[in-house]
Structure 1
């Protein structure tokens, strides 16, 4: 099994993800054995008319974080596609970076399941949670 670390994850961010995801300026905070923590810096371009970070940006962050958690659990990036993401918005966030903590709950040969918690930096209270499912389309490095 190969090592999937923060440096590898940063390279993957620019190589695999769509340009508009790259425009979110997401940074890798930490990669563990079955988890990933990503930071999305606050930007006025991500807010609704009331200054609250929009749900679309939060769901994109959650989805992206889970790809990294699955890659960490797999020992490397595996082509995959989102099958389901059920999101619950618990509190609004304005004027703060967002931290996404993604954890793999179950990793199989063809499916992966996980959970993601998003919180404003400096605030331990969750702002959003997501339950996710991904179809695995290939082996690491393929």
Structure 2
């Protein structure tokens, strides 16, 4: 996918990027982009960070025995959400690859969508770093915390 101009990057471009730039199996996760935050809202704290909010629709296909959403699906959701947070920081697509992802699972999540709140911690020329909080959509309680690093290509 060609690099986007800074003034053009928004939800429509991000949704198109999801369809065009990711492997087909990622699309099978049932992801949707709910929000991109490129600019701080009025009255935001000084430590505000660009980010993206994605939703993974609940599906039995994502569950292991016992109806619990598997960790692999949660980690793929977090990784994908972080790509969009980095793109929000750059205001457009840049080729990148994950070089580190650490996931701390806090509690099992079952029978609900999962929300990924991805935030850019540091945007660099060659490396970018971020954090993702995964929340159960029904109760908005955290189910996992993820930190990640991306090499910018």
Matched, 1:113 2:123: no
Specify the alignment match of 1:95 in structure 2: 111
Please report the RMSD computed on the Cα atoms of aligned residues, expressed in angstroms: 0.8
Distance 2:8 2:112 in 1: 32
Cα offsets for 1:12-55 (capped at 9, x unmatched): 00110000001112001100011000000000000001100000
Unaligned runs of at least 5 residues, structure 2: 1-5, 39-49
Q: Secondary structure at the match of 1:15?
A: helix
Distance 2:121 2:149 in 1: 10
TM-score normalised by length of structure 1: 0.94
TM-score normalised by length of structure 2: 0.87
Find the partner of 1:44 among 56, 60, 84: 60
Q: How many residue pairs end up in the alignment?
A: 137
Specify the alignment match of 2:146 in structure 1: 130
The offset of 1:133, in angstroms, is 0.2
The 5 Å alignment of 1:1-142 reads 1-33=6-38, 34-137=50-153
The worse-fitting range, judged by mean Cα deviation, of 117-126 and 34-43 is 117-126
